[in-house]
Structures are given as C-alpha cells and as structure tokens.
C-alpha cells in the first residue's frame, strides 16, 4: 500500500517506517539503520536522527508546515508489519537558536513504538513531519517529529558535504 510513499522496514521482529520525500529518496530515523539495506543508504544527518536512502519510484507527497492546534495523523507499523495509525494535535513548534528552520514539533496523541521514522500528516493529507520519539507525561503522550523543512535542510547539507568530498 503506497501510503504517502510509505516504505515498510519491519524485519526480524523489529519495526520502523520511512517515507519517500523526494523522487527516489526516502527518510527514516538513523536509529532504524539496522532495518535498511546498507547499500541503499545515502547518508545520515549530522544534527538530527535522520537517515536518507534510495527508494522505489513512488511519487513524493505534498508537504506543509506544522501549525499549533491542527489535527494530525501519524503512521507506523507493529512488529508484524501491520499498519498502525495514531491521531493527535500539534501542541508546540520548537524553535532553537542556531537553526534556520524549526528543528521539530510536538503533538499530543497515541503514537508510540513502531512509529519511528514514519510520516505525520495534517488534516488535508499534507506531509508535515517525520516522527522520532515520544514521552509520557502523566496521562498525556507527547510525540516528537522533525518538521519537513528540517528534513529537507539536513538532506541539503548532506548533499553539500558529499559534493565537496
């Protein structure tokens, strides 16, 4: 099922997902490296938990920026490779000195293990981020995701480094 260029990564009772964000190029979390064929890896970001690799010719989705208060849907997979869907709402966009773009945003929802590297889309179906972690705070679960502007900036930096070597 080519959901947003969703790339199945589940192997050997481990789970993770990825998403095609440019023609022929997918992104997932670097901590999912054991789930990706090393021959397809293009590189790993230096400032975040992102890894880029060659993928099939699935067309990339339309992207947008996250907005506080917007409903979102995150996609992951369980240990058997079955699609998992989590719903939530963007609660914070984090701005950090030294970053030209927002490094990440936080949404409250029900995502957890198996969502690493997976897409987060807004209510109109536009890709707004890549999930990288979560934290339980009382009865709330906060999920962290890289903004797509950050994903593109890290990839651009990676390409620039590779071109100069």
The secondary structure of residue 112, as a DSSP letter, is: -
- 44 contacts 38 by C-beta, under 8 angstroms: no
pLDDT of the residue at 106:
95
Cβ atoms within 10 A of the Cβ of 71, count?
13
- 145 contacts 132 by C-beta, under 8 angstroms: yes
Q: Looking at the domain that runs over 3-60, which CATH code has it been given? A: 2.40.10
Q: Which H/E stretch holds residue 103?
A: none
Sorted by where each begins, the domain ranges of the chain are 3-60, 71-152
Instruction: Specify the pTM.
Output: 0.83
Please give the residue that has the higher pLDDT: either 72 or 6: 72
Q: Looking at the domain that runs over 71-152, which CATH code has it been given? A: 2.40.10.10
Q: pLDDT digits over 34-86, tens only? A: 888 899 999 999 888 999 998 877 778 899 999 999 999 999 887 777 788 99
User: Do 3-60 and 71-152 have matching folds?
Assistant: yes
pLDDT bucket at 165, cuts 50 / 70 / 90: very low
């Amino acid at each position: 099922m080519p959901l947003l260029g969703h790339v199945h990564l589940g192997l050997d009772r481990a789970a993770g997902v990825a998403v095609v964000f440019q023609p022929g190029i997918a992104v997932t979390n670097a901590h999912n490296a054991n789930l990706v064929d090393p021959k397809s890896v293009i590189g790993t970001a230096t400032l975040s938990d992102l890894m880029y690799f060659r993928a099939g010719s699935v067309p990339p989705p339309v992207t947008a920026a996250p907005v506080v208060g917007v409903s979102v849907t995150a996609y992951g997979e369980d240990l058997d490779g079955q699609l998992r869907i989590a719903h939530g709402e963007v609660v914070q966009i984090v701005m950090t000195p030294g970053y030209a773009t927002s490094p990440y945003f936080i949404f409250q929802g029900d995502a957890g293990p198996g969502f690493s590297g997976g897409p987060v889309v807004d209510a109109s179906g536009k890709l707004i981020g890549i999930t990288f972690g979560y934290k339980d705070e009382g009865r709330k679960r906060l999920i962290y995701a890289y903004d797509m502007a950050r994903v593109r900036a890290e990839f651009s930096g990676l390409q620039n480094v590779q071109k100069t070597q």
